Amino acid sequence: MKKQHVKLSNQDRAYLESLLKKGSMKVRKQKRVLGLLELDKGKTYESVVELLKISRLTIKSWADKYKESGLSFLEDKPRSGRPLGLSGEDRAKITAIACSAPPDGYARWSLRLLADKLVELEIVDSISFRQVGYILKKMNCSLTEKSSGVSEK
């Protein structure tokens, strides 16, 4: 059976081995590095597939990408998706409002009330209450905690 492998340059091999020694990288990148090093050792696609638990098509595409563009394929390409519509400043404003006193007639802020208030204040054109909740969660802000620490009876 003919072995299908990649021939790394000495410089590329040394770079890949140094990446593994650092110890902190994304798993996807680590698998790509290990895959290339195993192919360079003369292992077949099938043996690398078994070792890394990936598909044969994936390992073949890694080998092809290395041959075409070198080690630049190791880094993830930007993923598609809706870009973040809020700046850090806007997120800080949302958090500040959530930490402020609720409007008259309310004991505390709700996510829907916050979303309506943000549109009213023209901080955002539109925002869902779920997005407000997501932002507050990321900012480690809870609407259920009392700021004063005093329990009410």
**Do 15 and 67 have their domain in common?**
yes
**Of the candidates 26, 27, 32, the residue with the CA atom closest to the CA atom of residue 12:** 32
31-35, 84-88, 129-133: least confidently modelled range: 84-88
Residue 110 CB coordination number (10 Å):
14
24 & 65 share domain:
yes
Residue 127 lies in a domain: yes
Q: Which residues contact 139 (CB under 8 A, 6 or more apart)?
A: 91, 94, 95
Q: Per-residue pLDDT tens for 49-76?
A: 999 999 999 999 999 999 998 999 898 8
Please write the tens of the pLDDT for every residue from 22-31.
878 889 999 9
Dist CA 36 CA 13 (whole Å): 9
Contact 153, 139 (CB under 8 A): no
Query: How far apart are alpha carbons 40 and 20 in whole angstroms?
Result: 15
Domain count, the chain: 2
Does 70 share its domain with 119? no
DSSP calls for 39-106: HHTT--HHHHHHHHT--HHHHHHHHHHHHHHGGGGGSPPPPPSPPP---HHHHHHHHHHHHSPPPTT-
* Domain range enclosing 93: 88-138
Digit-coded pLDDT (tens) for 96-139: 998 888 889 988 899 999 999 999 998 888 888 998 888 888 87
